[in-house]
Structure 1
Amino acid sequence: MRNSTRRNRNIGTAKQGFGQNNKLVVPYHAQEMKSFYERLEEYNVVKRTINNHTFKFVVEKTRENSFHACTIDDLETILAQIPKDHYGDLELIILRQPTRKEENLKAVWGRLIYSYEFENDYLPAIIIEAVNLEGSFKWPKKLSVGGQKELERLKEDGHKIVMGKRYFEAEYTIENIRATQLYRTLPHEFGHYVHYLDLVIKPEKTDEEDDAWEKRWNDYHRLPTSEKESFAHSYADTFKSKLETKNLIPFDRILDLDKIKKDGLNISDFKT
């Protein structure tokens, strides 16, 4: 006898929608028109003038066992070496505490946001994420060419990567995370921003300025990810090489407890 439940082989599978509402995703707040990385909780703002350019360091309070690997003094030291004309309108450096779900689903060392909503204003921002030192990162063994290169970069940063049965894995340490975020992630995100400045902001004005700007914006965001990543990696590699040649990096972590207190920050967000 024919079994009617076998008529559709997709019954009870993802193809028919089964379990789609149960997917683990970073939640979107419908009543708050902000991206997840713009929804900051408890934070303090510290202003620093670097090369006559004011930066706002927004430091979000961390959870237990999570820390900001880079101090403001660390970041200021690197920002001072970036050419001033590469700053553009970028003022915000966000030291952010991701949620546990974000750490599992959207873990990144940092990111560039072209228009970040902060205190009723919109400005470009670079985000550097706090990391839970009780965690570890895992990479699948089947890696693209880009993934293999990234794994080599992490090894150069000092991460002790071991091969497990299914993953490449490395434990987090504050020193290795700092090396990645300070010497590579920060200049990498600036590389994206310089690419954006060159293609969208700097071209000469025309009589159809608004239409021309919108076209440049759309053209830039249509570029293949591989092309944008290649530009940012090249920028970061060149920048890092110059600082190494000048013996400016690596340098010890700048953890000035008195200065942290004076800035109204929590020492526990940085100290391990």
Structure 2
Amino acid sequence: MRPGWNPARRNRHVGTKAHGHGANNRLTIPESWHELKCYFEKLSSYVVVTKSIGERELKFFVEPTRSDWFYPCTVDDICAVLSHCSVNVLNSFDFVVMRQPTRKQRILCPVWGRAIFSFDIDKHRGAAIVIEAQDLAPIDWDKSITPEYTRELERLRKDGHEIRNVRRGIQIHTTPNSLRNTVLYRTFLHEIGHHIDYSQSSSEEWDAKTKPVKEDYAHRYASELYGLLSKQGVLPFKPIIDDKSLLADGLNREWFCLS
């Protein structure tokens, strides 16, 4: 090696992402090494509501929303849908969680809802459907989207969202009604589909299924269940606004979009 030669000066990647620059301050959702719970299982505060649907008692864990955020459907809306579903559907999960995501979670992992097969909360453990609070801020997508995202964009358009092509990509503009269509009539039924698929599969069969296969099943199940309930005249229906029910359950009307 020549005296005084500094190889770092000859490295074109110094100070760039390829050389590790910025790796320590990358935006991530914080997780604790000392706790096994995922971030979506950690509710800061919540109200526990127990509802009777047929012969089944179902618990709801409802987290208060921040200002300008809301749940696109009420607890009574969800119960109204489930009251027309089969026993098989009601037995496929144990409780419903309605949670308020943080701003960082919304940026890094935006979702309408989740199907969780092992959810641990308030000394309860079981299968859960998670519904996330939403706001009316536009949702930005990149211009280069996969075929699956293209199909999802068409589903969102049918839900009533306005899809705009902007300079940097695609922008999805929502309304309270379009969010209700997406969350109550599609996402909630979609997550039920995941639970049905999981309950009918062995551990080996479930692990062998790819994500696209699981998603296709849940989309198909949601579409068929909506079609069945629609033919029966059950769906769609107006938001169930029951101030007495909200008060009795300890819920705040402002947490829900009732318009």
Matches within 5 A, 1:94-105: 94-105=97-108
Shift of 1:79: 1.3
- Distance in 2, Cα, partners of 1:52 & 1:14: 58
Q: Is the 8 A contact 1:88 1:197 kept in 2?
A: no
Secondary structure of 2:201's partner? helix
CA–CA distance in 1 between the matches of 2:87 and 2:44? 31
* Structure-2 separation of matches of 1:157 and 1:238: 16
Q: 1:260 aligns with which of 234, 246, 251?
A: 246
Taking only the aligned residue pairs, the percentage that are identical comes to: 36
What is the distance in 2 between the residues matched to 1:11 and 1:257? 62
Does the CA contact (< 8 Å) of 1:58 and 1:93 recur in 2? yes
User: Deviations for 1:35-59, whole angstroms, at most 9, x for unmatched residues?
Assistant: 1001101210111121311110111
2:13 corresponding residue in structure 1: 10
CA contact (8 A) 2:92 2:192 kept: no
Q: Which residue of 2 aligns with 1:210?
A: none
Give the letter aligned to residue 49 of structure 1. Answer: S
2 CA distance for matches of 1:237 and 1:174? 21
2:174 counterpart (137, 156, 172): 172
Note if 1:239 corresponds to 2:230. no
**Is residue 73–residue 257 contact of structure 2 (8 Å, CA) maintained in 1?**
no
Does the residue aligned with 2:190 lie in a helix, a strand or coil?
helix
Structure 2: which 5+ runs fail to align? none
Q: Tell me, yes or no, if the aligned pair for 2:162 and 2:174 is still in contact at 8 Å.
A: no
Structure 1 runs not aligned, ≥5 long: 201-216
Q: CA deviation at 1:81?
A: 2.4
Match of 2:112 among 109, 121, 146: 109
In structure 2, C-alpha distance between the alignment counterparts of 1:88 and 1:253, rounded to whole Å:
25
Structure 2 counterpart SS, 1:66: coil
Per-residue Cα deviation, 1:196-242 (whole angstroms, up to 9, x for no partner):
01113xxxxxxxxxxxxxxxx24413311010001101100101111
| Partner Cα distance (2:64, 2:169) in 1 | 31
- The alignment covers a number of residue pairs equal to 255
- Where 2:162 maps in the other structure, the secondary structure is coil
Contact 1:26 1:101 in 2 (8 A): yes
Distance 1:16 1:119 in 2: 45
Per the alignment, in what secondary structure is the counterpart of residue 163 of structure 1? Answer: strand
2: distance between equivalents of 1:121 and 1:271? 28
| 2:125 counterpart of 1:122 | yes
Cα gap change, 1:181/1:271 in structure 2, threshold over 3 Å: closer, same or farther? Answer: closer
What CA distance in whole angstroms lies between the structure 1 residues aligned with 2:183 and 2:257? 17
Q: Contact conserved, 2:115 with 2:130, CA < 8 A, in 1? A: yes
Q: Counterpart amino acid of 2:191?
A: E
Distance 1:191 1:34 in 2: 24
Listed one character per residue, the Cα deviations across residues 154-204 of structure 1 (whole Å, up to 9, x for unaligned) are 01101111111122112232111111010000110011111101113xxxx
**Does residue 64 of structure 2 align to residue 61 of structure 1?**
yes
* Cα distance change, pair 222–20 in 1 and its aligned pair in 2 (3 A): farther
TM (normalized to structure 1)?
0.88
SS where residue 47 of structure 1 aligns?
strand
Shift of 1:6: 4.5
